[in-house]
Amino acid sequence: MNEEDTVTEKSQDSFWAFAQRMQQELETPEAILARYTAGANELEHAVAGLAEPSLELSRAVGTWTIRQIVHHVVDGDQLSSMWILAAIAHPGCTLALDWYNQEAWAQTLYYPGRAMAPALALLRANRAVIGGLVAHFPDAWERSVLTTWPDMPDGYERAVGSTLLIQACHVPWHIRQIRETRDLHRV
């Protein structure tokens, strides 16, 4: 089981069910882009005021700490940026993601010990850059890439618009987990 599928008492659904509900609220590209760009501020606000020891708290044994969640969100955002940049620069190309595994990244890229401030700054800058690029290209929303994974060698088409929607939902999903952790530990 990975972090995306972890179930707690307060969050009884998967990321995909959560995203589907959010999609109903985000009816236009403008709404999705606004939610996407606001994500950096929202994540910063969710962790504001936490002392270093509190960043090591988790909702339950076997789930990520607040620090690990933040790094997962930022690294996931960087990964999604690759989809968007590839689709804008070279629509229709193939993006092979045989090198990505979120659990391996969490260990290999030292999520438990990395400073959060640079990661949060990167998220803010990345979302500003991507938001600007999408706004600059009138047809960016529809541009796409073919994405392949080890278990999906034939791949699937991933459009910029759907990638932005997923990322617009990804931050609030994990903010909910951070809030659950803060509530549980009263921090």
Distance between CA atoms of 25 and 19, rounded to whole angstroms? Answer: 10
Average pLDDT, whole number, for the chain?
Answer: 90
Q: Is residue 71 part of a domain?
A: yes
pLDDT per residue as tens digits for the range 173-182:
999 999 999 9
What's the confidence (pLDDT) of residue 99?
A: 85
Task: Provide the domain limits for residue 84.
Answer: 32-185
Q: Is residue 102 part of a domain?
A: yes
Question: Quick one: what percent of the chain has pLDDT higher than 90?
Answer: 73
What's the confidence (pLDDT) of residue 9?
A: 40
Give me the helix-helix angle, 66-89 and 29-47, nearest 10°.
150
> How much is the average pLDDT of 8-15?
59
Quick one: three-class SS letters along 48-66?
Answer: CCCCHHHHHCECCCCCCEH
pLDDT per residue as tens digits for the range 74-98:
999 999 999 999 999 999 999 998 8
Distance between CA atoms of 136 and 22, rounded to whole angstroms? Answer: 25
User: Which comes out higher in pLDDT, residue 71 or 152?
Assistant: 71
Q: Is residue 10 part of a domain?
A: no
CA proximity to 170, closest of 3, 28, 8, 1: 3
Number of domains in the chain: 1
CATH classification of the domain holding 170: 1.20.120.450
| Residues 165 and 23: beta-carbon distance below 8 Å | yes
Q: Is residue 3 part of a domain?
A: no
Distance between CA atoms of 4 and 14, rounded to whole angstroms? Answer: 7
Helix residue ranges per DSSP H, 48-159: 66-89, 102-108, 116-136
Half-sphere exposure of 43 (CA within 13 A, CB side): 33
Q: Is residue 22 part of a domain?
A: no
Q: Is residue 163 part of a domain?
A: yes
Q: What global pTM score does this model have?
A: 0.87
- pLDDT-derived band at 4 (thresholds 50, 70, 90) equals very low
pLDDT per residue as tens digits for the range 38-74:
999 999 999 999 999 999 999 999 999 999 999 999 9
The sheet that has 152-159: what strands, in order across it? 94-96, 144-149, 152-159
Q: Is residue 156 part of a domain?
A: yes
